Copies of this chain bind each other. A is one copy, B any other.
């Protein structure tokens, strides 16, 4: 059940009151045009709205302007009409202009697409845009281009739809696991442990920063040279000899001889000088060594030929986590059902659609469960996510279908409504061996192989045309800690395959 404030569109009825957001002086546009009547039933209501102009045009020889305004609450825009007597139209029509306006909702002339439009009575605030400089034209842009205007790309249809979908999936994830009594655990991001060699790790350090500070400091205050140090050493020796000399002179005077008081004074002074010379030498040596460090290791401290991590922030080498698995398992062994949902990192230079250097990952852990419970959980979670998108993001999914992926909604419906096929790895191999008789795979099919992407796609997209869970994999291709089954050949691990995506992998310990 959703506790979202913006209810699924089909749940909005004509009797719904259009209310301003509680902490923002605007009625979300979704709650106007997302209604089943497209907002027609709200005609006559005075509302404030805020948003950004997607398209604007002056009409009637500059007598009025039409603005299509989007506030990010839904993919659709509200049509806004401003009379030239209300505001300087030239300042409103540029794409990207931010507008905060009050007006009355009106039925538009018949025959147009929108069901309601806003006739502005008062302009509360405007953030103008220089159309010549605004980098997002009305035409369709490539995702690659948008990487260069990253501060504005969330204003595009695609990125804003993805942001709403991602938000929905994140909240659905929490809702699903909380509903089933799982506790959310924040595992550490900075870690000193590797996790099953999941991939190359990023190092987290303050050593380089410290080294650069040191280099700068040594540039401002150059360290002593080798001969400076030598001179300081000689000074210590000379001062030491003076003390020795004075002491033997004192000894020759006898205990109460003449001049003892005077020589004591001299000794005391010489000892003081020796002490200062020693301190000076120590300081020279320390700074000389720092200078050498800068010369030989870019200022990074080394010991026995290796980097001396005792000087790093955590006094040891630290990395960004590649998985919270190890840490969250310790919670599962105390709290029974837990999950993580947080960022993870891989320092791999792989440019494929399956590799990111930073991504958010969900890791559930269940105690007192077997592989069947595990499969049930994975299936329920994935179906819950699909249904949630259908219930809460249908308008955004329609945008995706129209502009990016025709089959997206159909696949969501398929996954949300079908019982997942569950087959053992051994059964999967048998199906693939049958397929080989009439079809060619690039990779060999035989018991013991790790299923290739083409095999997985064949199973889910061609053979079953449905989501498939493959379980009980050969122990040889899975990690050492997985639970070995009674056959002593397979382990209790599973992968969930969904048409067009490889979703997730699970295992038992």
| A interface residues with partner B (beta carbon < 8 Å) | 1, 3-6, 21-26, 28, 48, 50-52, 71-73, 98, 100, 125, 150-152, 154-155, 160, 163-164, 166-167, 170-171, 174-175, 178-181, 183-186, 188-190, 200-209, 212, 295-298, 300, 302, 307, 313, 320, 330-331, 333-337, 342-343, 345, 347, 349, 357-358, 360, 366-370, 373-374, 376-377, 380
Q: Name the B residues within 8 Å of A180 (CB-CB).
A: 5, 21-23
Q: Which residues on B sit within 8 Å (CB–CB) of A171?
A: 174, 178, 184
Contact of A337 among B23, B125, B181, B331 (CB under 8 A): B23
Q: Which of B5, B51, B175, B367 contacts A181 (CB 8 A)?
A: B5
Contacts A297-B298, A300-B298 given; does A25 touch B368 at CB 8 Å: yes
Please give, as numbers and ranges, the residues of chain B lying within 8 Å of A349 by CB-CB distance: 313
A185 and B163 within 8 A (CB): yes
Q: Which residues of B contact A72 (CB under 8 A)?
A: 183, 334-336
Pairwise interchain contact B50-A368, C-beta atoms closer than 8 A: yes
From known contacts A335-B72, A336-B50, A360-B186, infer whether A370 and B25 are also in contact, taking CB-CB under 8 Å: yes
Q: Which residues of B contact A366 (CB under 8 A)?
A: 23-24
- The answer to whether A179 and B337 touch (CB under 8 A), given A100-B368, A185-B163, is no
Q: Is B163 within 8 A of A212, CB to CB?
A: no
Chain B residues contacting A186 (CB-CB under 8 Å) are 166, 170, 343, 360
Question: With a CB–CB cut-off of 8 A, which chain B residues contact A343?
Answer: 186, 189, 342-343
Closest to A48 in B: B368
Report yes or no: A208 in contact with B206, Cβ–Cβ below 8 A.
Answer: no
Interface CB pairs A-B, < 8 A, 13: A5-B178, A21-B180, A21-B337, A22-B377, A25-B373, A167-B185, A170-B184, A171-B178, A189-B343, A190-B202, A190-B345, A204-B204, A342-B342
| CB atoms of A179 and B336 under 8 A apart | no
- CB contacts (< 8 Å) of A25 on chain B: these are 368-370, 373
Residues of chain B within 8 A of A333, CB atoms compared: 52, 98, 154-155
CA gap between A207 and B205 in the complex, in Å: 11
Give the contacting residue for A206; candidates B1, B3, B202, B330; CB below 8 A: B202
Are A21 and B181 neighbours in the complex by a CB distance under 8 Å? yes
Q: Which 8 A-B pairs have the closest CB atoms?
A: A72-B335, A50-B368, A297-B298, A23-B377, A154-B334, A155-B334, A167-B183, A151-B330
Q: Which residue of B lies closest to A300 (CB)?
A: B298
Docked complex Cα distance between A209 and B204 (Å): 11
Most chain B beta-carbon contacts within 10 A, residue among A100, A208, A349, A357: A208
What's the Cα separation between A178 and B336 when bound, in Å?
28
Minimum Cβ distance to chain B for residue A316 (Å)? 13
Other than the given A50-B368, A71-B335, A154-B335, 14 more pairs (CB < 8 A) read A21-B337, A22-B180, A23-B337, A23-B380, A73-B335, A125-B368, A154-B331, A160-B335, A189-B358, A190-B345, A203-B205, A205-B205, A296-B296, A300-B300
A364 to chain B, nearest CB (A): 8
Chain B residues positioned under 8 Å from A163 (CB to CB): 183, 185, 331, 335
A39 to chain B, nearest CB (A): 17
With most chain B CB atoms within 10 A of its CB, the pick from A4, A180, A368 is A368
